[in-house]
Structure formats: structure tokens, C-alpha cells
Structure 1
């Protein structure tokens, strides 16, 4: 595949498909637990509706990455979009909590295939000199879909009902599938393996994952996901509500400010890492975010928490995208798929364990201790990053 230093048309086609996928996922974020509770009044299986998304992915990331390296990106890319459409449709017609769990699992499986191969295509497509800004812009635009998806989905759910919103998601995903087969540039993209088939063996692929720099990147990814899903997506909202006494409206504003900060940093991180180096930007993000987590335990005025939230998200955004780009610089081209699978497995494990670990800390000790643990973990990752 020819390496690019400028954005080709196919890049914008990939951006649109990624945006549509994230928008569809965001549409149901405002009401998914409520729908699950309606289907399961006992509440026993509500958590499984959320965790099924990650549980379906965690065991297939590395195998799908290896297969992508062997046969090319396109087949799994298309399969991922198709499964996402099927999964969201099953959620739309779900008559029971079990159908909803199955739909979420299939959807999560498809999203894993799609985003792994989509990212691998971007790795293959761009020269390292501009890869950071290409991926940063891509992920920043995706996050805009997440930002606007929640409010739109909430409004739609109030007007047409929870299940019907899933039809919109399925239609967005179906449109993406049609574009993959009709747009000329996408039809020929990633159809072949990036290197000759005979050069890739399972043993060699797995051996490539033992490089210390790759392990460091994956450990930082794991830590970031533990904090993002466990602390900032679970404990944080409860802390604002129960400890600081903020209402849902104020919490929504703070969450929105954090999302805005993440988008700004994500869009900027690629340009910054191309210019100043990946590790410097990762260190900057970690060192910026860590004191913000501790600062949450020291202040209570809404305006101050809002400002800290924005700065905290800047640090998280700088780290997240740059980690992915650094991985592409480290790994050999023929092993990019399996390396991405390895990286995303750590991400999925963090997504599963994060809420369990940080809620346990917050419940057994206090939310203040949970924030301090998060800050210390980030500082330890900054130290680890300096060893690679």
C-alpha cells in the first residue's frame, strides 16, 4: 500500500464511516441501562448488558489482528460493520433482557473487528511523519459523534421510544456497509495483506509482542482504561452527586466539558506528537491528568470542578491517541494487526475491571482514596514510559 503524506479521499470516507459508527453507539448511551432495567426489573442482568460489549471483544482482538495481517484488512473490516448492524437490529427487536445482551455482544464483537482493522488501515495508509495528525483528526471527529449522540438519542427515545432508536443506529451502520461496497476507493482498500503471506507465522507474530516498548504501551493503555471506565465513568459521577451535592444537570455540564476537552486534545495530539515526538506528548498527558485527579478531592465549587474536568480531559486526550500512534511506530508493518489486537485486549480488560476495582475502593475506603489511587497509577505509568 502506498504511504501518504497528504489526506487522500478514502481517508474522509473512512472518517465518515467511523463517525457514523460512534454516533450510532452514542445514541443509546443516555437510556441503555434504563431499557435494560425495564426488561429485567430485578436488575440482576443490567450490568451484563453493559459488560457483554467488552466480554465479547476481549477474546477475539489478538486472533482477529493476526488474521488481518494474514489475509488483509478489508474482509474483517466489512464483517465488523455487518455484525454491528445485526447486533443493533437485535437490540431494536429485543423482547427480553437475554436478546438485548446477545445483541450487545454481537454489536461489540463487530465494533471490535471494525475499529481494529480501520486503525490498521490508517497505519498502513500514512507515512509516520503525518500518521499522528491523521489518526488524531480521525479520532477527534469520532468523538464529536459521541458528544452529540447522547443528547440526540435521549430526545429520540422520549419521542419514539427506546427500542426504535436502535433502528436509527442499525440504519446508520447499514449505510456504512453500502458505502463500503459502492465507493470506488473503499472497494479496493485493504484487500491484501500488507506483506507477503509466507512471512507471517503465529509464533513470529506472538513473539513480536514481547518487545518491552510494546508491553509498556499496552500497560499504559490498560491503566488509562481502568481510570476512564472505572473512575471517571463510574465513581466520578457518584462522587459529584453524593459527596459534592451536584444535581444531574450540573453533572451533565461537567461531563460535557470533559468530552470537549478530550476532543480538543485528541485533535491537537496528532500534530503535537508528529512535531515533538510521541513519548513527550504521552508524558505531558499523564503528568497533566494525574494532579487533576487528586485536585478533585480538594475542591467543591462547581466552577472549579468544571475547570479541572476540562484540564483533566486534555491530559487524557493527549495520551490516548498518541499511544496508538506510538504503537504503529514501534511494531513491524507485518505485525500491526496482531499488535493492535494485543493493545485492544488490554483496553478491553481495563474496561471490564475498571468499574469493579474503583467501585470496590470507593465503597470499602472512600471516593477520595479512589482518586488518589488513580493519580498514583498515572504517575507510575509516566515513570514506566521513561523506561521504553
Structure 2
């Protein structure tokens, strides 16, 4: 009887973007709110560290990015395991409950320790919510449209980062660095929690149905332990491990753009509004570009887009290091956004291509552990180099590391995408 009921329930579950458009659209909206929570910090926090808390050392000023990146990376790992064990929706709701106190801590925290603590909570929030929206979209769309799905997911998140960064920069220009810019984050958290509780539906059964149909290519096995999945994603499997290192370097670059670029721009006399515009250009191009690049990777493959994107990021970071004027930096931010757009959804699509549906959520968690560990590594590395040698040499060093990452993808990764019907 139970088997018959399960079969009847399964008969109503269909894979594909068109078949699940309403839920997919809701998840896109929720991920935009996830991005908005991150965007509220992009302009204001580096300037708070300098102007309000008088943190003169770059390494000390970037502790909030270290706290955010390390916490998010670890949470990503557990998000995949928890979503396999308990379902996707409970993990998503938990992430938004954790987000509720963050805006108040940023807006009224009396010491830098409060800012760092808020970023620990933000890392947990982002790890649970962003990881889960990725997993749920992959569950819904099936194998044929993974690149497109990841393009929509990441575009929503990073367009919201850009829009919120620009909005908070404008608010700070007129109302001050605190508390007004962070009231947007409070509204985002409340709205997202409501949508997650009352509108989003569980998608774990979609993954179970895909797993039952999966051919198990590349020797993939449905019974791997979490440790085996971590080893395969990090080291053993060529495409998964190449994607993991590229993701880490990509977010190392984002830590540089988040924590160091605004200080460089301010040191050259740019206004808050100009810094806000530059900080918004990069995630705006990154976000909007993913609508194209995710779809493009479904048609021409993943590897060459990733290689080209990493090399273009390296060139853009070098241009920031060499620039001294707003126009040059604006062009560099656009190029950096294009390079990141080529890479970001495509790397997630690689994980979806290679990982078996039975352990795909955990593989996404391991990949995102490496990728978002790049925030912490980037903040520590860039801060230490800037303290020792100055801002420009630190930026040049990250550019060289990014170029090396792109060449490693070219050598190690194989093409993972094969056409699937539907």
C-alpha cells in the first residue's frame, strides 16, 4: 500500500523548468533577497572600519570578511548534508531565522566585535539559504537546463547585491553610515522568511526521482559516504576538483573587491557615491551576465567558459591595480563582472553534471565549502600583502593567482556537459 501511494505521489512530480516554473520563480525571488543581505555590507562596512572604528591595519579591518567567509564555507558543507537528511525547506527556513538579528547588530553594534559577530551569523545565513536555493533549483529543472537554472539563481543573487550596494551607498551619502543603510536588510530578512515558510515547497522528491533514472555515468555510485564525496569533489575527480579550486580563487577575488577596492578608491579621493557606483558595477554585470552565460554553457559546454572567465578576471584585477581614475576603474569592474559571469553558474553546472543525484547536494556543499573559503583566504592574503607591501602590490599578486587558476582549469578539467533531452 505504501509503495502504491509513493508511486501515485511520484507520478505528479515532473522534472524541468517549464513544469516547475512557479516554484522556480519563487526560489529566484528568495535568492535575490539572499543577495540583498550581502549587498547591504558591500560599501558601508569597509568605510565603517576606517571612519567609525578607526581600524588602520588592513588585516584587522578585513576580519569581518574572514569571519563571514569561514563561517559560510563550513555552513555550506553542512547545508548539503542537512538538506539530504531533513529536506531542503527546513534548512532554508532555519537560514532566514538566523538572519533576523543581523541588520540590528550592524546598525547599532557598539564595537567592531559586534560587526564580526554579525558576519558570523551572515555566513551561516548565506551558507544555508544560498546553498539550499541552488540545490532546490537543480532538483526542479533536471539535467538538461542546469546551466540556465544556475544562471537565473546567481543572476538574481548578484543583481540584488549590486542594487542593494548602490542603494546603501546612496543612503549613506545622505543619512550617514549607520543605522539607515541597514534597514533594507531588516526588510529583506522578514520578507524572505515569510516566503520560505508559506510559499516554498519541498523538492527532495524531485532529486529522488532523478536518482532512480540516473545511468550512473563516470562510475558514479549512489552509496558514497560523505567523506568519500568530500575526497572525490576536492581531490580525486578531475572536473570536480578543478571546479573547487577555481571557485575558491573566484571568491578570493570577490573578497579583494569587497574589502580592498573601496579603500583604494577612497584613497584616491572618490566620493561615497562614486565608490558605490564602482562597487555596484561589478556584481551588476556579474549578475546580469549570468542569464546569458548559464544558458550558453548548456549549448557550448562548460570548460572553455570557465578558463576564459578566470583569465579575464586576472586581466581586470591587473587593470584595477594600474588605474588611477574613475573611468579606468569602471572599465575594470565591467571586465571583472564579465569574467565572473562566465565562471560562476558554469562551475555549479559542472558539479550538477558530474555528481550523482543521490549525493549531489553534498557535493554542492563540498564545492561551496571550497568556493566560499576563498572569502576568508582572500581577506587574509590581501590584507597581509597590503599591510606588508601596499594596496597595489597586493592586487597584482591576486591577479597572478587568478591567471594560474585559469590555466589549471585548462589543463585538468574535462568537458562535463552532454546533451540530455528535455
Shorter-chain TM-score range: 0.7 to 0.9
CA distance in 1, matches of 2:377, 2:123: 17
- Mean CA deviation greater in 23-32 or 343-352: 23-32
- Mean CA deviation greater in 133-142 or 40-49: 40-49
How much has 1:365 moved relative to structure 2? 4.0
Instruction: Report whether the alignment pairs 1:318 with 2:333.
Output: no
CA distance in 1, matches of 2:119, 2:382: 24
Instruction: Report whether the alignment pairs 1:107 with 2:132.
Output: no
Q: Is the 8 A contact 2:17 2:24 kept in 1?
A: no
Q: Is the 8 A contact 2:138 2:149 kept in 1?
A: no
Structure 1 residue aligned with 2:40: 27
CA distance in 1, matches of 2:328, 2:50: 35
Specify whether residues 70 and 149 from structure 1 end up closer, same or farther in structure 2 by C-alpha distance, changes over 3 A only.
same
Deviation sequence 1:295-349 (CA, Å, 0-9, x none): 4455655434433332232112211221111121121112222212212222232
Instruction: Report whether the alignment pairs 1:233 with 2:261.
Output: no
Structure 2 residue aligned with 1:336: 360
Q: Is the 8 A contact 2:77 2:369 kept in 1?
A: yes
CA distance in 2, matches of 1:261, 1:154: 18
Residue correspondence of structure 1 range 81-160 to structure 2 within 5 A: 81-91=96-106, 94=109, 96-156=111-171, 158-159=174-175
Structure 2 residue aligned with 1:270: 294
Instruction: Report whether the alignment pairs 1:18 with 2:31.
Output: yes
CA distance in 1, matches of 2:61, 2:404: 34
Structure 2 residue aligned with 1:4: 16
How much has 1:234 moved relative to structure 2? 3.8
SS of equivalent to 1:332? coil
Residue correspondence of structure 1 range 1-388 to structure 2 within 5 A: 2-6=14-18, 8-33=21-46, 47-91=62-106, 94=109, 96-156=111-171, 158-159=174-175, 162-163=178-179, 165-183=181-199, 186-190=200-204, 194=208, 199=223, 201-209=225-233, 210-230=236-256, 232-240=257-265, 242=267, 245=268, 247-248=270-271, 250-296=274-320, 300=324, 302-365=326-389, 367-386=391-410, 387-388=412-413
Q: Structure 2 stretches of 5 or more lacking a match?
A: 1-12, 213-221, 414-422
Q: Structure 1 stretches of 5 or more lacking a match?
A: none
Specify whether residues 258 and 21 from structure 1 end up closer, same or farther in structure 2 by C-alpha distance, changes over 3 A only.
closer
- Mean CA deviation greater in 131-140 or 145-154: 145-154
CA distance in 1, matches of 2:245, 2:55: 37
Deviation sequence 1:354-385 (CA, Å, 0-9, x none): 13323433454455544443333233222221
Q: Is the 8 A contact 2:150 2:349 kept in 1?
A: yes
TM-score (norm 1): 0.84
How much has 1:269 moved relative to structure 2? 0.8
CA RMSD of aligned residues (A): 3.2
Deviation sequence 1:81-112 (CA, Å, 0-9, x none): 11112444554564555444333322321221
Specify whether residues 166 and 192 from structure 1 end up closer, same or farther in structure 2 by C-alpha distance, changes over 3 A only.
farther
How much has 1:46 moved relative to structure 2? 5.5
Q: Is the 8 A contact 1:261 1:313 kept in 2?
A: yes
How much has 1:262 moved relative to structure 2? 1.7
How much has 1:59 moved relative to structure 2? 2.9
SS of equivalent to 2:15? coil
CA distance in 1, matches of 2:316, 2:54: 38
Deviation sequence 1:168-211 (CA, Å, 0-9, x none): 4233222222222322xx23444787469x94643443344332
Specify whether residues 39 and 56 from structure 1 end up closer, same or farther in structure 2 by C-alpha distance, changes over 3 A only.
farther
Q: Is the 8 A contact 2:84 2:204 kept in 1?
A: no
